[in-house]
Structure 1
Amino acid sequence: MVFDFPNTVFSVFAAIGFVLALIPFYWHYKASNVALCLFMAWSSIGCLNGFINSVIWNTSISNSAPIWCDISTRIMVAEPVASTASTLCIARRLYADFSNKARSKRKEVFIDLVIGVGVPILEIILSYIVQGNRFDIYERVGCSPGIVNRPPSYALIYVWPIVLAAVIFIFITSVLTVRQHFINSNKSGSMGFGVFRWHYSDISFRLLVLSICCTVYAIIIPGYLISLDRRSSDYTAWVSFHDVHSHFSTVNQIAAADWRDDKATVIALEIGRWSPVLCAFSVFYLFGIVEEAAREYRRAFRLIKSRLCGVPPESDSASEMSTTKSSLPTPVIAQKAYESHGHGKWLET
């Protein structure tokens, strides 16, 4: 089976993912890139949650930490929607920048927080409607939400990443359309359009790549899991709220030998806990090993060295200062203004 490997492998990757997702967080926080910070935070939280569960219940199914399981299962419900919602914030900001939309910075931060934090919290609240028992404990995996496999669960829980991904797709299409429009409209004019020739070093390009990858993932994976659940033998019709919550205090404890015999259960559990790890490694690859990140690493190294050696930190060289003029900690998503002077010109501010 694809997921047939020692549980320690997941624990190690989850621990690494927890750290990697937070490495670029500080300088993007300084740059006020709230949308990307939300994505990093949720990915890191998901990795930490999976790591703790895999360690505590590596060879056990005992209900040894019920309060933690209550918290952990809420994170599991919120994280898939939170990652997609954070991606929506990124795509929305990209569209606003490329279409030159006038906006208030405080208002944009508020909207990002409503989408990136408010939507996951709403998901947690709605999950109680279809929560049949307090939680389940799977050996090796740990705590799992006790969501019943009934029609309302799909509308309230499972379909939301797909809905958000569809909205992201609209924003991404709009960004590419606006970009292509200005390229086409300026090919015959005197204005250069090198700003539109994206490269890996361009922050807008990497944000767009992250948005596209998350959109594809948020459509394919939840769609596949929904099809598995719909064909499952435990799929039943909705009777009533009282019927679903009639045994709410129950804690099901399933040994690895039992749940690993069911292919659908294995796929659902493993994809659920590996998804935050994949997000963490992706965000580090896109934002943690680029030129601007290397400059931050050098600054951090010089600061640590100065503290340990008791000498003032070395100043940046003139060449490095010139190259960082338009990079961090200025806003990561550059705000572009279009000036019309006969032929027009794009400026980065």
Structure 2
Amino acid sequence: MPSALAAAGFVASALVLATLPHHLRVKNFATLSIIAWLFLYNLIYGIDAVIWEGNVDIVAPVWCDIATKVIIGAETSIPGCCLCLARQLNRIAFSVAIPPPGWRDRALEFILCWGFPVLIMALHYIVQGHRFDLIEDLGCWPAVYYSWPAIIILVLPRLLPAVFGLFYSTLTFVNLYRRRLAFRFILETSESPLTLSQYLRLLVMVVFLGLYNVVLISVSTYEDYDGNLQPWENWASVHAQFSYIGQYLSSEFTPQARLHIDIFWWAVPFTNLVFFALFGVGEEAMGNYIACYRLRFSLSMSQTRRTPNRNCTEYPA
């Protein structure tokens, strides 16, 4: 099982990274940000599964300090990126032509995709009751002091963008149905590299990630905070044992608790798999793979021609 965890993390990272050439050509900042965060998220999962396979030894505390903050940032950024995409798709659906993004749109994208997640990573320290937790086979896990400030700092910044993203997506679906013929003509006659197929796949991805986040955030919040909401007395009491590192073997969890943890762990690689299914096996993606292979083969052949044959006594002029 632990080896499967590590493989899932690394394979998921590779799958989402395989879609990068296509999205680089489209140059959508929000989509590129999703790729970056999902890649980091799963890479951390894979590395953790290798280091803490069958143990909870404190062997890389600085790594866990960094990794848990990145996990917090990724959990916040993905709903924000989806909200940006949902706004873009909704604006295109309601326009008579594909409007170029203005500086306000660019600023909002940067804030939701990177600025706000980094801020939440810093604010996490307010409700970080101790340094981090280590779970056997899974590795680093962010520590949270479950209280009403944690709901404000960690839950709402993830839940609200996901809800608003679903709202925009619903409006987009309704308008697309009403203007489906005119919308197809707009995409075909525009200079944008966005095609109807790509647009619909982006919309499906936004809806999937929106529902995924709303369901997982709601369920995890209920599981974590129901009957476990702790009183917020003061800063000193919350951070009294901040240097503590929790170490939890698999045998210490009840079957229900371990199932809960495993479901939320596997949900992240599954997200990458869905992302790859939408953007990594289409006609455009296959064209990119073929082009990359041809370029690599051409460079290899050029290098072979330039390299002298060391087994010969004479070299070509």
Q: Tell me the TM-score range normalised by the shorter chain.
A: 0.7 to 0.9
Does the alignment pair 1:32 with 2:21? no
Count matched residues: 295
Given the alignment, which residue of 292, 298, 310 partners 2:302?
A: 310
Q: Determine which of 231, 238, 243 is the counterpart of 1:249.
A: 243
Aligned-residue CA RMSD (Å): 2.4
Distance in 1 (CA, whole Å) between partners of 2:107 and 2:229 is: 39
Q: Identify which of 83, 87, 111 aligns with 1:88.
A: 83
> Greater helix share, 1 or 2?
2
- Write out aligned runs for 1:225-244 (5 A): 225-232=220-227, 234-244=228-238
Q: How does 1:1-349 map to 2 (within 5 A)?
A: 6-100=1-95, 102-104=99-101, 107-183=104-180, 194-195=184-185, 202-232=197-227, 234-258=228-252, 260-261=253-254, 263-264=256-257, 266-310=258-302
8 A contact 2:10–2:46 mirrored in 1: yes
Indicate the SS of the match to 2:131.
Answer: strand
Please list every run of 5 or more consecutive structure 1 residues that lacks an aligned counterpart in the other structure.
1-5, 187-191, 312-349
Q: Which of structure 1's runs of 4+ aligned residues deviate more than 3 A? A: 101-110, 192-197
By how many angstroms is 1:170 displaced? 1.9
The letter for the 2-side match of 1:246 is: A
* Secondary structure of 2:129 counterpart: strand
| Corresponding residue for residue 322 of structure 1 | none
**1: CA distance between counterparts of 2:155 and 2:80?**
14
Q: Is the 8 A contact 2:155 2:217 kept in 1?
A: yes
Secondary structure at 2:27's aligned position in 1?
coil
- Percent same amino acid among aligned pairs? 24
Give the drift of 1:31: 2.1
Question: Does the 8 Å contact 1:136/1:144 carry over to 2?
Answer: yes
Inter-CA distance 82–104: structure 2 relative to 1 (3 Å threshold): closer
Offset at residue 104 of structure 1 (A): 3.9
Counterpart residue type for residue 43 of structure 1: L
Q: Secondary structure at the match of 1:212?
A: helix
Change over 3 Å in CA distance of 1:268–1:245 after alignment to 2: farther
Q: What residue ranges of structure 2 are gaps of 5+ in the alignment?
A: 188-194, 304-317
Q: State the TM-score, normalizing by the size of structure 1.
A: 0.78
- Please give the secondary structure, in 1, of the residue aligned with 2:59: coil
Q: Deviations over 1:32-73 (max 9, x none)?
A: 111111111111111001111111011221111111000011
Q: TM-score, normalised by structure 2?
A: 0.86
